[in-house]
Amino acid sequence: MLPLQPTWLPSAAGLVHRLASGKPAPAARDAYTQAAAALLHHYPSAAAQQLFAPGPAAFLLVSLVLADVRASLPGLLARLNSPDYADASARLAAAYDVLSSFVAHLVSAPDTALAPDHLLKLRAAVADALSATVGHLRERFDASVAGAAGLHPDARSGGGDGAAPPAPLALAWDASSPAHAIGTDPLVLAALRALGLWLREDDAPALRAEAAGLMDVFLALYASGAPPFRDAVLVALEGVTAASADDEDDAPAPPADPDPDLDAGPDDAVDGAHVFLGHGGFAVLTADVLAILRAPGPGEAARGIEAVRVLLPIVEASAGAGEEEWLSFVRAVAGWGVPAADDGGESVTVVDDFRIAVLQLATAVLEGAPPGVRRRYARAVSAVVGIAEQLRRREPSAPEQTEELDDVLATLAELRMDA
């Protein structure tokens, strides 16, 4: 059992700093990277305060981690079937975990962050490392799906028509080394987490434009991946689509070709929300939302809330776009039977928050549809109203839930009058 408040944590952090500052050999580099990641995993807040305390030691540690990522990624794909890939993947996964913890520390404790000049230098280094990460994930996914990097989605089975993206295939190297398959590679998961967190927290249009080129990667991993992959993808999607989610309501329809220009420069605007819709992102996320609605556990409900958080601003900013596909989601929600009241507890609050979020998304879809279209779905609208009323009568556990349900019912009442 690990102690909750270890007295040795400052000494361990000091050892990590000393290893990083001594022009380390590869073995020492592996040691301080893995040790820092382990400390941050077990003691997220306390270890971050020690490892990222203002000063040259923290700046050097993060700089070396980023330099290792930038230097290692270019030739990593060629080593996928080599005996040393597992060690390289584990080290780089630890490096991405350190980066994720550093970003989270900057967000949660800005008063204890590094000096402004150090932060400016690290911001540029993070952008460079994550730009290389985008390129590696692109090549890694293309190789797993098509056997070659850079193959256009139209040349893949099931790709290029707006349908759900194809699942990664098991190639010879994945079949002979299952631990290195893209869906189980710790490097891929850690890279997604770090990339997604930075995209969400930092307003970097150039990097968001690059990451929009990974939309098929994000959605394929979401559709076929384990829950940790889905959580990481949702964070990335929130960042990629955030810039366009705040655009004017009369934004143009999604482009016929869902792929952005992967060679777009920093000044080229890439609408992440439109790329998301062009790749069938609405169908991929709502399929998961509806599956969770049928059997919502606390963990799944929390993921469902994040999925709705991605979808809701896109729907609100794209009034009338894809109305038939979107209204089929409303019909599916209307067919959901409200279960009996759950026992109390924090998990129930999360599940109720998710159910209310689903109703908010369905209401937003209806609000964006023309009155004539809403008339064709009059029964579904009435059913959604009935669901909201049932949840409202169950006396939600938080006042915010009552207010949200009242807003849903008021909006639906106005829509029924206008239809």
Say if residue 177's pLDDT is above 70.
Answer: no
pLDDT category, 247, cuts 50, 70, 90? very low
Residue 72, pLDDT above cutoff 60: yes
Give me the DSSP letters along 40-79: HHHSHHHHHHHHT-SSHHHHHHHHHHHHHHHHHSTTTGGG
- DSSP designation for 244: H
- Out of 65-69, 96-100, 139-143, 305-309, pick the least confident: 139-143
Distances (CA, A) of 128 to 95, 137, 230, 259, 285: 15, 14, 25, 23, 30
Residue 245 resides in a domain = no
267 SS3 class: coil
- Reported as type and span, the H/E element at residue 219 is helix 215-224
Domain range for 337 = 280-419
The answer to whether residue 145 is domain-embedded is no
Burial class (CB in 10 A: 0-12, 13-18, 19+), 348: middle
- Tokens found for residue 373: 């279209």
Check if the beta carbon of residue 391 is closer than 8 Å to that of residue 336: no
Q: Is residue 365 part of a domain?
A: yes
Length of the chain: 419
Q: Out of 160-164, 326-330, 403-407, pick the least confident.
A: 160-164
The average pLDDT across 276-280 equals 93
Q: Taking residues 303-314, report their average pLDDT.
A: 96
As a whole number, mean pLDDT of residues 67-72 equals 96
Q: Output the pTM of the full model.
A: 0.85
Which pLDDT score is estimated for 271?
86
pLDDT over threshold 60, residue 152: no
Which of the residue ranges 251-255, 256-260, 408-412 has the most confident prediction, judged by mean pLDDT? Answer: 408-412
Cβ-based burial of 21 (10 A; exposed 0-12, middle 13-18, buried ≥19): middle
Question: How confident is the model over 319-328, as a mean pLDDT?
Answer: 72
**What is the C-alpha to C-alpha distance for residues 63 and 123, in angstroms, rounded to an integer?**
10
Q: What is the pLDDT of residues 325-379, one digit of tens each?
A: 888 999 999 999 887 766 555 567 899 999 999 999 999 999 888 888 888 888 9
Percent of the chain's residues with pLDDT above 70: 81
- Per the structure, the count of domains in the chain is 1
152-157 long-range contacts (CB < 8 A, ≥24 apart) are 152/259, 153/216, 153/258, 153/259
Residue 7 is predicted with a pLDDT of 92
Is the pLDDT reported for residue 42 higher than 50? Answer: yes
Tens-digit pLDDT profile for residues 197-227: 999 998 888 999 999 999 999 999 999 878 8
What pLDDT is stored for residue 266 in this prediction?
41
pLDDT at 337: 83
In a domain, 413, yes or no: yes
Of the pLDDT bands very low, low, confident and very high (cuts 50, 70, 90), residue 239 is very high
Largest CA-CA distance found in the chain, in angstroms, rounded: 72
Q: Is residue 241 part of a domain?
A: no
- Average confidence (pLDDT) over 243-272: 48
Residue 69 lies in a domain: no
Report pLDDT for 11: 96
| Listed range (28-32, 322-326, 366-370) with the worst mean pLDDT | 322-326
Spatial distance between the Cα atoms of 382 and 400, rounded to a whole number of angstroms:
24
Cβ atoms of 199 and 239 within 8 Å: the answer is yes
Contact between 41 and 97 under an 8 Å Cβ cutoff? The reply is yes
- 86 lies in some domain: no
Q: Which residue type, as a one-letter code, is found at position 72?
A: S
Q: Is residue 286's pLDDT more than 90?
A: yes
Is 316 inside any structural domain?
Answer: yes
Residue range 76-80: average pLDDT? 90
pLDDT score, position 146: 59
Mean per-residue pLDDT for 76-94?
Answer: 92
Average pLDDT of the chain to the nearest whole number: 84
Give which of 189, 81, 179, 77 is closest to 135, Cα–Cα: 77
